[in-house]
Structure 1
Amino acid sequence: MGQMDLRSAVAEVIGLQALYSSSNTDDMKRRGALIRKAIPNALSQIQPLLAESAGVEIGDLLIEGRDATGMKAQIPWVRFGSRKASPRATVGWYVVLLFGQAGAGAYLALAHGSTQFRHGAFVPRSDEELSQLMAWGRARLSRSLPNDPRLVPNVKLGSVGALARSYEKSCVVAYQYSAAELPDDAGLQRDMTTLAGLLRQLYDAERLGQTPSATDPSVRDAEEAGAVISRPTSTQGGQGFALSADERRAIELRAMRLATTRLQELGFRVEDVSKMGSFDLLATRGDETVRVEVKGTTGNLGAILLTANEVQLHLKAYPANALMVVHGIELVERDGSPLAVGGTLQSWMPWALDIDLLKGITFKYQLA
């Protein structure tokens, strides 16, 4: 198959949907060639533009098309997104071309993985989970959505199949295309870069642990590092959203600043001992001495990461100890460097560390 322009390939697939068969007919063979080769090849011509708009490296931009898992699929698709953040269509956020059944046209959608692979089959995610993700995504992007009448909040693929319904429920926003009103290549590229820019915002939020049910970034990074250490030859990747050293330092400084201010408001004299011991702040007030652990996160209040030394120290120090966590910190850029602002402080004074709530990520096992 020679190089086709994007519009022609998309239009032909829309037409072939009227001839759908679950068998590998000549029409379905042609559709498969368009989905798996022609459209991805056309997108690869604008790969640098898509990668830049999505905020990912060119080598990380995944472009793929699928039209069958066994029998020919009723709803074929072509998608692009971060290989690290969305290694499979069942995982993470991406931009996808979804082709409806005859008469339904096509949609270019900002979507999230709508299924999970369980017991040898793709199983739709729960309505509750998809609803929570879509509501969060729309709220997150509410100020950035362009005022374009072609953008629709609901996708209707014209199929009663379970997977089609899951696709419909997993789209935040989409451009709707009919065969008669399909944009030219330049128009399709503009729509793709617009959605790629929105995708970038969702990737940033995931990296900062701000999505529903997200794990604190430091815990997430430790879990993924532990998985790499224990399975160094595994090809199973994590989310690929590690914070930079400068970002982590900015978050740490913001948390320490807010914790210090709160302690001073309570009448404590505060000393930063984070570089010398297994806790962060030494707070004294008269004859009272408190060892304070400080944690900061861009995510919601949830799990925190503790070293073995920190655990042992606070078990022994109780009740002359405290835990202070600043969550919901925001990262902004100032003069080319990350700056942490905002955040909500929550304190446990004293902190009765519950060993039943500890979960090991990695262990050292001494052999000799």
Structure 2
Amino acid sequence: MSLRDLLNEVLALQPSFTTDAEDPSMVRRRELVSKEIPGWIAAELASSFPKWQTEGSGGRGTPALIPWSRYCDHDRSPKAGIGWYAVYLFSATGDAAYLSLNQGTSPFDPIRQRIIPLPDGVVTARADWARSALTVDGSAPASFDTIDLRTTSGLGHAYELGNIHGIRYSAGSIPSDDQLRQDFNRIGQLLDRLYQIDDDTAFIPGDVAPEIVDAEVAAVESAGNPRRAAGQGSGLSQAEKTALEDHSVKLAIEYFKSKNYTVKNTGKKKSYDLLASLGSEKIYVEVKGTISLGEEVILTYNEVEHHLKEHPNNALVVVHSIKLDRKQSPPVASGGIVVVHQPWQIDVTMLRPISYRYVTPSA
């Protein structure tokens, strides 16, 4: 069967949507999106993107309002909830199908051991980043088109926000397979280029900061669950950590010296990084450097206890958006935006435990 006929058949079934998995229309829809359309895609991938894979779903157990069939590099997007991919999506009313360059919006949280949907603002920021990156690269289409799945909530809403560029196929006027094949390859080429750009980008909006990844993986592994820690993203090498730390401390020192403080680097011996003195005033300074936007940082138990005790004679310096050149050996950190919180009152309600020490009951 042609792809045009397959897409039209799914659209014709959409107005009959029901959550009854045994309903004949839902059984047929599931076959179309999970087997027949991926079968067509697989044949095309063999010649165009031989290392990529395809899959589809009409919902796990209970039918989903918006079914899909996607293709991607499985190593970069092993599940539909993460990574960049291309996907056929079908509107809730059956008026249109879309081929969308899209993204995962529901990553797995290794600490809470469950899927945590990304906030709408983060998904939108990631889509904006992808469009900007493809535009700068010269790979962008003449215009980026949105998708309308005729729903305002749930996964349909997430797909709409996550869309980078979509090609609309109206029910009853879907083009020939030759045109569909051209579109398939065009979106595939955009996806392939996005993968390459991603590889060359240290941090993308919505990514978990690498130091957070390191801390979470270490916590899960120390609890005796190394399998749960596997595949949770990229952390930092020791050389990269050193480069970020040295650079951020240097900028923090420059900041306090510009305010006429005498500054002593105490990071190797104390539970704070700098001691800034001005006359009889002493400020205990914590410094955090990151390639991320600095929305979260890792604090040790001793750091929290010390700064709770020393407030208001303390400060937090976050140097975010640092550029990290990993191609040099050792890595080189540069740039960054310095944000100073002085005095620094730790809001204990914002402290999120990563792991616990537990004294087991006596036998």
Change in Cα spacing, 1:114 to 1:96, as seen in structure 2 (3 Å) is farther
Indicate if the aligned counterparts of 2:35 and 2:56 stay in contact, CA closer than 8 A: no
Specify the alignment match of 1:17 in structure 2. Answer: 10
Change in Cα spacing, 1:174 to 1:333, as seen in structure 2 (3 Å) is farther
Q: Which deviates further from its counterpart, 167-176 or 247-256?
A: 167-176
Change in Cα spacing, 1:202 to 1:82, as seen in structure 2 (3 Å) is farther
Change in Cα spacing, 1:29 to 1:254, as seen in structure 2 (3 Å) is same
**Partner Cα separation in structure 1 for residue 340 and residue 107 of structure 2:** 39
Indicate if the aligned counterparts of 1:40 and 1:64 stay in contact, CA closer than 8 A: no
Specify the alignment match of 1:113 in structure 2. Answer: 105
Residue in structure 2 matching 1:104, options 79, 96, 99: 96
Change in Cα spacing, 1:49 to 1:190, as seen in structure 2 (3 Å) is farther
**Partner Cα separation in structure 2 for residue 172 and residue 73 of structure 1:** 21
Change in Cα spacing, 1:274 to 1:112, as seen in structure 2 (3 Å) is same
**Partner Cα separation in structure 1 for residue 318 and residue 33 of structure 2:** 54
Specify the alignment match of 2:191 in structure 1. Answer: 195
**Partner Cα separation in structure 1 for residue 155 and residue 311 of structure 2:** 53
Query: Would you tell me which structure has more strand in proportion to its own residues?
Result: 1
CA shift, 1:222, in A, is 1.7
**Partner Cα separation in structure 2 for residue 34 and residue 265 of structure 1:** 66
Residue in structure 1 matching 2:36, options 34, 37, 41: 34
Correspondence list, 1:224-263, <5 A: 224-230=217-223, 232=225, 235=228, 239-263=232-256
Indicate if the aligned counterparts of 1:224 and 1:238 stay in contact, CA closer than 8 A: no
* Length-normalised TM-score, structure 1: 0.69
Indicate yes or no: 2:205 matched with 1:210: yes
The AA in structure 1 aligned to 2:219 is: G
**Partner Cα separation in structure 1 for residue 193 and residue 238 of structure 2:** 25
**Partner Cα separation in structure 1 for residue 145 and residue 330 of structure 2:** 36
**Partner Cα separation in structure 2 for residue 187 and residue 197 of structure 1:** 15
Correspondence list, 1:114-133, <5 A: 129-130=119-120, 133=123
Change in Cα spacing, 1:267 to 1:103, as seen in structure 2 (3 Å) is closer
CA shift, 1:345, in A, is 1.8
Correspondence list, 1:79-228, <5 A: 79-80=71-72, 87-89=78-80, 91-100=81-90, 104=96, 106-113=98-105, 129-130=119-120, 133-134=123-124, 136-139=126-129, 141-145=131-135, 146-149=139-142, 152-156=144-148, 164=156, 167-176=159-168, 178-180=174-176, 182-183=178-179, 188-199=184-195, 201=197, 208=203, 210-211=205-206, 216-228=209-221
Specify the alignment match of 1:341 in structure 2. Answer: 334
**Partner Cα separation in structure 1 for residue 351 and residue 65 of structure 2:** 45
Residue in structure 1 matching 2:286, options 277, 280, 293: 293
Indicate yes or no: 2:353 matched with 1:360: yes
The AA in structure 2 aligned to 1:244 is: S
**Partner Cα separation in structure 1 for residue 218 and residue 189 of structure 2:** 32
* Length-normalised TM-score, structure 2: 0.70
Indicate if the aligned counterparts of 1:108 and 1:192 stay in contact, CA closer than 8 A: no
Secondary structure of the residue aligned to 1:326 is: strand
The AA in structure 1 aligned to 2:127 is: G
**Partner Cα separation in structure 2 for residue 356 and residue 105 of structure 1:** 45
Question: Tell me, which stretches of 5 or more residues in structure 2 are unaligned?
Answer: 14-23, 109-116
Change in Cα spacing, 1:243 to 1:81, as seen in structure 2 (3 Å) is farther
Indicate if the aligned counterparts of 1:100 and 1:158 stay in contact, CA closer than 8 A: no
Percent of aligned pairs sharing the same letter:
24
**Partner Cα separation in structure 2 for residue 303 and residue 72 of structure 1:** 34
CA shift, 1:258, in A, is 0.9
Superposed CA RMSD in Å reads: 4.3
Change in Cα spacing, 1:267 to 1:46, as seen in structure 2 (3 Å) is same
The AA in structure 1 aligned to 2:272 is: F
The size of the alignment, in residue pairs, is 333
**Partner Cα separation in structure 2 for residue 281 and residue 339 of structure 1:** 22
Specify the alignment match of 2:20 in structure 1. Answer: none
Secondary structure of the residue aligned to 1:271 is: strand
CA shift, 1:49, in A, is 6.1
Deviations 1:209-252 (A, max 9, x none): 732xx654423432343234436176586741323333333322
The AA in structure 2 aligned to 1:33 is: K
CA shift, 1:280, in A, is 1.6
Question: Tell me, which stretches of 5 or more residues in structure 1 are unaligned?
Answer: 1-7, 51-61, 117-124
Indicate yes or no: 2:264 matched with 1:271: yes
**Partner Cα separation in structure 1 for residue 156 and residue 359 of structure 2:** 52
The AA in structure 2 aligned to 1:43 is: L
CA shift, 1:203, in A, is 7.9
Indicate yes or no: 2:56 matched with 1:65: yes
Specify the alignment match of 1:56 in structure 2. Answer: none
